[in-house]
């Protein structure tokens, strides 16, 4: 049971995630991606005349079950097999974050940043509301999310997925090193 309560090394978890792509292709000629499931859900629950939602979403309903399985797996992994130890954070990162008043690492994400009372602060609003909007907009603009492009698209040697993945990585580096320190200082 101990193997289920500890983080798996990258050289085990990475190939397992990577093997999802050929498994989906071999089992049912399906493409891996998560962001498209929101489109399928909207098409199923909110029938409108918008052309973006006018397609046979039932052909892609397997994707909704896939996402449901991810949610159930996350619940089982986090609640049943959750590691009771606090999240391990490098001492150098703790020192840097303490300058911004972030000291609580008892949850998966810092409670000092991600909680309901923090939402009414400028920092919390930017991180949760503006950040969530930008992630959603970027996913739609790029035609998919990081899992779809970086895992599925690159394995299929798709040029747009390579460009999207490079942009995801560049955006992450810019955000983490240039923009996030400014937002955390608010």
pLDDT in tens, 57-100: 888 888 889 889 989 998 998 888 877 777 788 999 889 889 88
Query: Is residue 52 predicted with pLDDT exceeding 90?
Result: no
Average pLDDT for residues 106-121, to the nearest whole number? Answer: 82
Asked whether residue 107 is domain-assigned, the answer is no
Residues 61 and 123 in one domain: no
d(CA 118, CA 53): 35
Residues 4 and 80 in one domain: yes
Query: Is residue 173 predicted with pLDDT exceeding 90?
Result: yes
Q: What is the pTM of this model?
A: 0.73
**Which of 132, 114, 134, 133 shows the shortest CA–CA distance to 124?**
114
If you average pLDDT over every residue of the chain, what do you get?
86
Query: Is residue 1 predicted with pLDDT exceeding 80?
Result: no
Q: 88 to each of 6, 76, 93, 104, 126, how far by Cα in Å?
A: 11, 20, 11, 12, 26
Structurally, the chain folds into a number of domains equal to 2
DSSP class of 144? S
Asked whether residue 94 is domain-assigned, the answer is no
Residues 10 and 69 in one domain: yes
Domain containing 141: what range?
A: 116-186
Residues 15 and 80 in one domain: yes
Report residue 174's pLDDT band, with 50, 70 and 90 as the boundaries. Answer: very high
d(CA 157, CA 153): 6
Report residue 166's pLDDT band, with 50, 70 and 90 as the boundaries. Answer: very high
Would you state the pLDDT for residue 162? 94
């Amino acid at each position: 049971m101990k193997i289920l309560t500890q983080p798996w090394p990258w050289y085990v978890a990475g190939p397992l995630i990577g093997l999802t792509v050929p498994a989906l292709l071999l089992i049912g000629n399906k493409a891996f991606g998560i962001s498209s499931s929101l489109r399928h859900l909207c098409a199923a629950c909110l029938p409108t005349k918008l052309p973006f939602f006018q397609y046979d979403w039932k052909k892609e309903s397997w994707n909704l079950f896939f996402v449901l399985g991810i949610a159930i797996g996350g619940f089982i992994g986090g609640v049943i097999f959750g590691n009771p130890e606090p999240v391990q954070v490098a001492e150098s990162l703790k020192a840097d974050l303490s300058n911004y008043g972030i000291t609580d690492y008892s949850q998966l994400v810092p409670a000092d940043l991600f909680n309901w009372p923090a939402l009414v602060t400028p920092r919390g609003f930017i991180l949760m509301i503006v950040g969530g909007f930008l992630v959603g907009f970027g996913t739609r603009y790029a035609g998919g999310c990081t899992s779809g492009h970086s895992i599925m698209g690159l394995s299929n040697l798709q040029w747009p997925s390579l460009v999207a993945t490079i942009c995801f990585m560049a955006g992450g580096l810019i955000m983490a090193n240039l923009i996030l320190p400014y937002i955390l200082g608010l």
